[in-house]
Amino acid sequence: MDKNKKFYIGLEKFYKKKYIQDYATAFADITGDKNPIHLDKEYAKRTILRTRVGHGMWCAGLISAAISQELPGPGSIYKSQSLNFFHPVRENDSLVVKLLILEIRLKKKLFVLETVIENQNNRKILDGEAVVILPSLTSTDLA
């Protein structure tokens, strides 16, 4: 862990990623989730959404990336994650994952994080709460 990084309740970090259709194809190949709403343009045109949309769980994977890279960072271990979906991700959406420390439990080396993903229009795609362990956490890491 970066010894200059200090953790405190209210600390917020961000992670950005642009969604492209190739991600839907790759995610479908990896997971087997080949729902046509994600992959078939003609099928999607006939749905309430009118266009292909990204897999919700691909978006959830961005939270994992943000946790491992930004907050608390490398070495983090997921304990749990809740998810509430609000709006679909569409091709070429620029997404921002926001992580906010709600709670730190030093004895358990644990963080409770608010997790939110928004698109380029500040439209909330999903939110939830993550519980993450950082095995290397010590009192010297706290602000």
Ordered DSSP codes for 94-140: EEEEEEEEEEEEGGGTEEEEEEEEE-TT--EEEEEEEEEE-TT--GG
Token reading at 20: 């492209």
Strands (E), 12-76: 12-18
φ and ψ at residue 140, rounded to 5 degrees = -70, -15
Token reading at 125: 């795609």
Mean pLDDT of 71-97: 97
Q: Which CATH topology does 12-18+56-141 take?
A: Thiol Ester Dehydrase; Chain A (3.10.129)
pLDDT score of 86 more than 90: yes
Quote the percentage of the chain above a pLDDT of 70.
97
* Model pTM score: 0.93
Q: Which pLDDT belongs to residue 3?
A: 54
